[in-house]
Amino acid sequence: MSRVASSPLALHRFRPYFQAAPRSLSLVATPSAVQFRPGKRGLRIVACEANPNPTESSTSEKLVLEPSSENDSTTDQSTGPSPNVGLPDVPNKSFNKQIAVVSALAAVALFLSGRLDFGVSLKDLTAAALPYEEALANGKPTVVEFYADWCEVCRELAPDIYKVEQQYKDKVNFVMLNVDNTKWEQELDEFGVEGIPHFAFLDRQGNEEGNVVGRLPRKYLLENVDALARGESSVPHARVVGQYSSAEARKVHQVVDPRSHG
């Protein structure tokens, strides 16, 4: 029968002890070093270390058990997606009313701005025009426009005519003759009006220097009127024809006021 040696060198002596670490509930054991370190959850890391010196009379083993952080569950919950994050607010009725009011105000402002720039009508031009006989007698050059209330091109060009008239009204006469008025039959034949609007450019003596017919860029009218205002012997655009309404479609009516220049 074999003997079991009782020598202290043959057997390792274990002197276990337990030590409670404050706030971490740690369990420590010696000899030999065994460490359990928590990862994010529970016991994830195990480290073993043998006694490097077996001749020592005592060795140590150390066991460290630490519970997972008591804030892990709280952290996981706080980092989880919130059910209301990223969802747009549903517009309420008051917000919709504000949008409607702002849209209405914008529409009114747009209408008014368009009215100020482009709201000039043929009636406005006729009211501001000089009578034909007076224009021929005052010694200024004259622009005569033959028009009709039903002429679409005439209505479209009214804002451009108004702007040029406001620029040169002190130097040039502006006359409006309605082709529906039988009073102007002689002038229609004299100036050879076949389409409207028809613009005739007269010098200071009442002689025609040129004419422009129909829808054309404003520069044609502007350059001709400028030449008249400067007393040029001719206009740069003596005969230009654009899109126009036929004068043969005029609606002849009885003259209400023979003195009317419209």
| Residues catalogued as catalytic | 151, 154
Query: How far, in Å, CA of 80 to CA of 39, rounded?
Result: 20
Neighbours of 220 (CB within 10 A): 16
Instruction: Copy the structure tokens of residue 235.
Output: 């206009």
Pair of tokens at residue 50: 């043998």
